[in-house]
Amino acid sequence: MKFSDTFPNVKSFAEAEENQILNLWQGLGYYSRARNMHFTAKHICNNLNGVFPSNYKELLKLKGIGEYTAAAISSFCYNEKKAVVDGNVFRVLSRYYGINTPIDTTAGKKEFTKLANELICEKNPGNHNQAIMEFGALLCKPKSPSCKICNLASSCIAFNKNEISKLPIKSKKIKQKKRHLNYFVITDGETLYVEQRNKKDIWEKLYQFPVIETKDEVFETPENSISNLLTLELIDVRSLKHILSHQIIFGKFWLFRSSKNLDLKNHIKCVKFKNIDNYAVPKLIENYLNEFFQLIN
Ligand code: SF4
């Protein structure tokens, strides 16, 4: 089901329940984008008479819209002369002009944005932005760029100095944090217990099984740490890994059988199998659920 089928206009999107939106977004990642879009749709309906802003300055005031998105919308839709500077643009400019300033520094962002704005086409800034982004994505690629067929090769500094693989320069390497999440999957054969993630963290507002995060992998059964699970039968343990841009998640799923209704904390919901699809879950939980339903059938 497409977003546009479910929400044909901004009003229907603004009036939707957040869980419905997250449910449709499920699997795409970057869930804060869905939440920000929802917040912004409500703001446009309630405070801007349903009129979407039509210039860079006003677009920047919207939640979730930064310089990059504001430049893209204002130039593509309204032909405003604002350069889009994304990863593709950084790469093309740093190679063609042989710029060594790291692109992940304030000085680098300033320098590349200034240059991109000096180069932008007066008449067709929207087309110019899309063209340079496409050029970076299709020809001047991060690995194995197509220099042999590139019309800019004769004047490209990186090509002529044999520095293509060095540019663009980044000062920091992304460190991926390792996290160990122990999920407690409790079922009586018809229901599962889920809770909503409410902390400022990955997957905010999505649903999951009750969880305990540990510093390292837990090797022994963790019944001791959850007193009210002591009477439950452990029927399966399996591990699934999920990689995000800044984190590697090691999920361990402890499956318990329960024959009675458990008295768990209020925020934990007991959900029938047939209704579980109504709850937006992270990809890791979705992958586990696929295995879970094969296991119990
Ligand atoms: S010659 Fe190669 S590095 Fe230079 S702009 Fe063309 S594709 Fe990019």
pLDDT tens digits, 93-142: 999 999 999 999 999 999 999 999 999 999 999 999 999 999 999 999 99
In this predicted structure, the answer to whether residue 187 has a pLDDT above a threshold of 70 is yes
Mean pLDDT of 167-181: 89
Burial of 214 (0-12, 13-18, 19+ CB in 10 A): middle
Q: What is the CA 101 to chain-centroid distance, rounded?
A: 27
Higher pLDDT, 80 or 224: 80
Residue ranges of the domains in the chain? 3-166, 177-296
Quick check: bond before 168 cis, omega within 30? yes
In this predicted structure, the answer to whether residue 27 has a pLDDT above a threshold of 90 is no
In this predicted structure, the answer to whether residue 274 has a pLDDT above a threshold of 60 is yes
Q: Which CATH architecture has domain 177-296?
A: Alpha-Beta Complex (3.90)
pLDDT tens digits, 190-239: 999 999 998 888 999 999 999 989 888 765 555 555 545 556 788 899 99
What's the gap in Å between 159 CA and the centre of ligand 1?
Answer: 6
pLDDT band of residue 6 (cuts 50, 70, 90) is confident
| Residue 137, ligand 1, Cβ within 6 A | no
Question: Which pLDDT does position 4 carry in this prediction?
Answer: 75
Residue nearest ligand 1's atom 4 by CA? 156
| Residue 140, ligand 1, Cβ within 6 A | yes
Question: Which pLDDT does position 222 carry in this prediction?
Answer: 54
Question: Which pLDDT does position 1 carry in this prediction?
Answer: 61
Mean pLDDT of 79-104: 96
User: Can you name the CATH fold of 3-166?
Assistant: Endonuclease Iii, domain 2 (1.10.1670)
- Give the whole-number percent of the chain exceeding pLDDT 70: 93
Across the chain, what does the average pLDDT equal? 90
**C-alpha–C-alpha distance, residues 55 and 125, integer Å:** 14
Question: Which pLDDT does position 2 carry in this prediction?
Answer: 67
**C-alpha–C-alpha distance, residues 81 and 245, integer Å:** 32
What's the gap in Å between 167 CA and the centre of ligand 1?
Answer: 11
| Residue 251, ligand 1, Cβ within 6 A | no
pLDDT tens digits, 28-51: 888 999 999 999 999 999 999 999
What's the gap in Å between 135 CA and the centre of ligand 1?
Answer: 9
What's the gap in Å between 37 CA and the centre of ligand 1?
Answer: 36
